[in-house]
Amino acid sequence: MAALHDDVLDALGRRIVGGELAAGAVLTLDDIDTEYDVSRSVSREAVRVLASMGMVASRRRVGLTVQPRTRWQVFDPRLIRWRLDSEDRAAQLRSLGELRSGFEPVAAGLAAVRATPEQCGALTAAVGDMVVHGRAGDLEAFLAADIAFHRVLLEASGNEMLAALDGVVAEVLAGRTHHHLMPTRPKGEAIDLHVEVARAVRAGDAVAARAAMESIIAEATDAVVADATTSTILGGDGEHA
Amino acid sequence: MAALHDDVLDALGRRIVGGELAAGAVLTLDDIDTEYDVSRSVSREAVRVLASMGMVASRRRVGLTVQPRTRWQVFDPRLIRWRLDSEDRAAQLRSLGELRSGFEPVAAGLAAVRATPEQCGALTAAVGDMVVHGRAGDLEAFLAADIAFHRVLLEASGNEMLAALDGVVAEVLAGRTHHHLMPTRPKGEAIDLHVEVARAVRAGDAVAARAAMESIIAEATDAVVADATTSTILGGDGEHA
DNA sequence: TCCGGCAAAAGATCAGATTTATTTCGGAAT
DNA sequence: ATTCCGAAATAAATCTGATCTTTTGCCGGA
């Protein structure tokens, strides 16, 4: 399973995100052919995708110009992944968090109106898992249940654009857990809020679902901010290269 | 300015969005070469981008399989445009509207905290234009000012993902105006709310900015719903095939 | 019935020809 | 002598047709 052009795409994407290839830098297909020892169509296909993400622009006689960040399609999951893997991680998580505070309450409100019985069941099941694993202190299992909960909720919103953001939410939750921005044992009140969202959705209470979700996000934001403050006091968060 | 592969990409994208090529349908590069009378790398590059948007998946010996909608990268501006140009327009506008009700209030709140003096000035100027053209009943000029207002606000949020949604908002606003989901003359109260957002941002009042923006969206949603209801009563909205 | 190898189908890759936009150089007019 | 215009040179993307590789379905034998 080679996927040569995919390798080149990934390598170039990371170099651009990482800043090695800054905005305004120019390179040619020939450079890429030589550097990665691939043929024309391989470099071309990689570059074509990069161009479709707004990261480079190609002009005859000039070459490929790296575009400024304002042109990037920042909702592309690949780009999000690259940024999360780079020194940009903190900024990316902050952006995603702020975004989430906007759309997740809306999704909760819509889900209360539109969720099918099956989705209500899945939501309840996920909450049950969160309670169990939260009490047991199994962070990975808790994370999985948390991700499942939010995924079902977004899907139940009946809005395909909100549903498409499930990957974003999963990344944020996973990032928080794996970079130790979570308490060693999930807080009881956070879990209670998830229980409340599930209840409100089952009851068809959009206002309550929305309010509970807003509290979840607010609580999460506070937790991250508190941790960041602590890290700063302690002299860094250990994430920078 | 040929851009052969871009033509093929556009044609294929529209066929998939339009439903002519439904999920599960398979086609081969050879089919594309023949049908559009282009050579391999042209079809390949078009397909590569389509694959990066989650619309098709390619497998050796099988060909290109059109993917179900749940796999699509629905935040890709190209896909949004295709959907807005297709019979899917109503659903796309609804999705975008719901999404907007989530993130625009957040953006307003952040802008109140982060907007630079220049951005405050641009916001005030845009609001001024809205007032003038709204009173004059010049819908196109009003639309342009409206779009400018929201663009500046999103940019002032200091969050590049929110800023990247400016195209989405512009499409929604333009779609509403051009498909006559707006009153012939913009409502005074809607304009007043924009004035209030600008004032709150200048004053650094995040809570007020957020609240005013929520009112703007709610007002807009009501207007569209009211129109849709009227259209239904009148026997259809003219958008269905 | 099950296993292994053969052959075809289709995507993946390659080397090379073509097109186009920029730049530069030469000549003429000022 | 300088500036302006146009044509030729050139660099780089774009496109083409052929070749390679992998996957899968089929067939024959155990």
Protein residues closer than 7 Å by CB to strand D: A 1-2, 27-30, 40-41, 44, 58-64; B 2-5, 38-42, 45, 59-62
Q: Which two tokens stand for residue B11?
A: 């044609």
Per-residue pLDDT, A78: 93
Q: What is the pLDDT of residues A21-46, one digit of tens each?
A: 999 999 999 999 999 989 888 899 99
Q: Where are the alpha helices (DSSP H) in chain B?
A: 4-18, 29-36, 40-52, 77-85, 89-114, 117-136, 139-156, 160-163, 166-178, 188-203, 206-234
One domain, residues A115 and A222: yes
Rounded, the Å distance between the CA of A136 and C1' of C28 is: 90
Kindly report the CATH number assigned to the domain that includes residue B188: 1.20.120.530
- On the question of pLDDT at A9 being above 80, the answer is yes
Q: How many domains does chain A have?
A: 2
Category of B67 on φ-ψ map: left (φ > 0), alpha (ψ -120 to 50) or beta: beta
The answer to which of A4-8, A108-112, B12-16, B162-166 has the lowest mean pLDDT is A4-8
Task: Mark the ranges of chain B whose per-residue pLDDT is less than 70.
Answer: 1-2, 223-241
One domain, residues B67 and B97: no
Among B45, B77, B110, the residue with its CB nearest the CB of A98 is B110
One domain, residues A112 and A159: yes
Q: Which two tokens stand for residue A32?
A: 């890429």
- On the question of pLDDT at A8 being above 80, the answer is yes
Kindly report the CATH number assigned to the domain that includes residue B30: 1.10.10.10
Mean pLDDT of A180-194: 84
One domain, residues A116 and A205: yes
Alpha-carbon distance A215 to A92, whole Å? 22
Alpha-carbon distance B108 to B201, whole Å? 7
Per-residue pLDDT, A17: 96
Per-residue pLDDT, A224: 63
Q: What is the pLDDT of residues B90-145, one digit of tens each?
A: 899 899 999 999 999 999 999 999 999 999 999 999 999 999 999 998 999 999 99
Domain span at residue A139 reads 89-234
One domain, residues A172 and A97: yes
Residue A38 lies in a domain: yes
**Phi, psi angle pair for A64, to nearest 5°:** -100, 125
Residue B77 lies in a domain: no
One domain, residues A93 and A54: no
Which among B85, B191, B192 has a CA at the least distance from the CA of B145? Answer: B191
Residue B162 lies in a domain: yes
Which bases along strand C come within 7 Å of a protein CB atom? 8-16, 19-22
Query: Contact A184/A229 with Cβ under 8 angstroms?
Result: no
Alpha-carbon distance A168 to A209, whole Å? 21
One domain, residues B106 and B169: yes
Per-residue pLDDT, A110: 97
Alpha-carbon distance B59 to B112, whole Å? 50
One domain, residues A204 and A113: yes
One domain, residues A222 and A126: yes
One domain, residues B60 and B102: no
- On the question of pLDDT at A175 being above 50, the answer is yes
One domain, residues A115 and A12: no
Question: Other C-beta atoms within 10 Å of B139: how many?
Answer: 19
Tell me whether residues B106 and A105 touch, CB distance under 8 A.
no
Residue A76 lies in a domain: no
